[in-house]
Structure 1
């Protein structure tokens, strides 16, 4: 069987692998029921959906002919390093500095990964996404997430 699109083949393969890993890993937890889902309910369902999506992309890569085989290009190291650093920064900053300071810092850092960085757009995104995250997670879902640095209290 010939791979007709290398990009689709490898992305589909990774989707299937990650989806199956999440579905398999979630079997260690309680599933619960549809009315009261347990901790395995969402990761299992999401893992299965991701694996199915990956299977569809794999099928496309093996059946639909492309002009040049869509070879995989070089790895974009700069955006990869910036996004991984932003994720690590989020994990380190959130418990100490709270949502109000962590999200703008992470959003500004991750916006540097793109080719078309504009400070005004990044600041607007930071403000809107921080407010939206507070609205959804803290106010709407009542999750216990620190909003302000621990120095300023609750």
Structure 2
């Protein structure tokens, strides 16, 4: 009988969902939850945090085997680090240059997390996603963040 790794992954994914959901719920309480008839600004995040924690509990409870900590490979750490760095890049670039450059830089950094991506594919994907983000967020939703800024 072959042992599957899905049980470990499910357990840790569920645990991560519970932790993030609990954090979202605790943070949303500072915004004022209100009631069902008069919802405060923290109501929606609180509801999502609770739902996320419940889903995480269900995922972790249905994992088929006990979780065991394993040391991640260098490739996995590189990928995770680049994805986190892409979020930091967006946060740093967006206020100074706007949505479009921040999106482009963020996608480029995150795409290099997969070593199978070629430079041409990365820049093509970044260009397509940047246009998509412009259409959805700037043009469609009219977000406050300017598309281009030179601060």
Q: Determine if the TM-score, normalized by the shorter chain, exceeds 0.5.
A: yes
Normalised TM-score (structure 1) = 0.78
Structure 1 equivalent of residue 81 of structure 2: 81
CA distance in 2, matches of 1:129, 1:116: 19
- The SS at the match of 2:81 is helix
Note if 1:60 corresponds to 2:57.
Answer: no
- Are the aligned partners of 1:83 and 1:110 in contact in 2 as well (CA < 8 Å)? yes
Structure 1 equivalent of residue 140 of structure 2: 140
CA distance in 1, matches of 2:92, 2:36: 34
- The SS at the match of 2:56 is helix
Correspondences of 1:1-154 after superposition (within 5 Å): 5-31=7-33, 38-61=40-63, 64=64, 71-75=68-72, 76-150=76-150
**RMSD across aligned C-alpha pairs, in angstroms?**
2.5
- Are the aligned partners of 2:33 and 2:40 in contact in 1 as well (CA < 8 Å)? yes
* Deviations, residues 17-38 of structure 1 (Å, cap 9, x unaligned): 2212211221221335778854
Q: Offset at 1:149?
A: 2.8
- Are the aligned partners of 2:12 and 2:67 in contact in 1 as well (CA < 8 Å)? no
- The SS at the match of 2:62 is helix
Unaligned stretches of 5+ residues in structure 2: 1-5
* Deviations, residues 54-76 of structure 1 (Å, cap 9, x unaligned): 11111112xx35xxx67444322
Structure 2 CA distance for partners of 1:83 and 1:141, relative to 1, 3 Å: same
- The SS at the match of 2:114 is coil
CA distance in 2, matches of 1:148, 1:34: 39
